[in-house]
Structure 1
Amino acid sequence: MNIYPNKQMKYLLLILATTGTALSFASIFNSASASELTVNVNSVVNNKTIAQARTCPKYAGGGRLSAQVETRNFLIHICDRQGKLFYTGISKRDGKGIYSLPTYTEEGTGYVAKNGQYEYIVTGASLDIFKNGKVVQSENVIRYISGYSN
């Protein structure tokens, strides 16, 4: 018996399964229908997700993604454009941010971006914001994606 009578529902289930969301719905479906939620590694959705994970968004200036870092209050993109790194940090609260600051890597420190009196240091563990050499804000990283890992 096909419990998914229309084409749109099948596509929704494919998208949910591909993104991992379907796992939370697994208890709703019986075992026969849950088997329909298998993920095809060559699906368009997977390829698009992988491409997005390696590319910086337009608002961050585009380019190749070096790192995407998320803290409780910020979403940060480190973008590589023609061999030069740029930092974009956006507040999750109000959407305001710092766009395309020239950035460099410092061994043992991480990514470093400077904007006047402010310095932003991003590692896989934290975001530290300095003003005139003193820490004014520090947040733990809750998600780190390296654009070079795939």
Structure 2
Amino acid sequence: MLNIIVKTFSELSLQELYSILQLRSEVFVVEQDCVYQDIDGKDEKALHVLGFKNDKIIAYTRIFKPGDYLEFACIGRVVVSKNERAFKYGYDIMKVSIEAIETRFKEHKIKISAQAHLKSFYNNCGFKEIGEEYLEDNIPHIAMIKQ
């Protein structure tokens, strides 16, 4: 069972922040073999959606209200620890992320920049592709919208 909480940057403990950055680095930098600037100065404006299992962060997203990152509300840094993906926690963390945008920001239009190989996952979360695929950090991505 995944215990999911939403926190502002200032509400994160040092241990939570360390665990978030470790998980993001483990997946986006090491597993995907992609050198990029993960610590991008945007975490301070984001709401952080943390998925805990046995007191360990194993799933995470960050969400933004319109104008804080993109013109629309958005969800980014969607990540689930490799050893936990078989349990489909990605759907749980996305559901809470979408609900947090709807309740906290009163927004229903949400944009994401999805890794192209995850299109069907995001389709199942209610997102539809817009435009053509593009490279972001040498990984094929596609913009997607949920309305």
TM-score range, shorter chain: under 0.3
More strand by share: 1
- Structure 1 or 2, whichever has the larger Rg, is 1
More helix by share: 2
Higher relative contact order (CA 8 A, sep 6+): 2
TM-score norm. by structure 1 comes to: 0.27
TM-score norm. by structure 2 comes to: 0.27
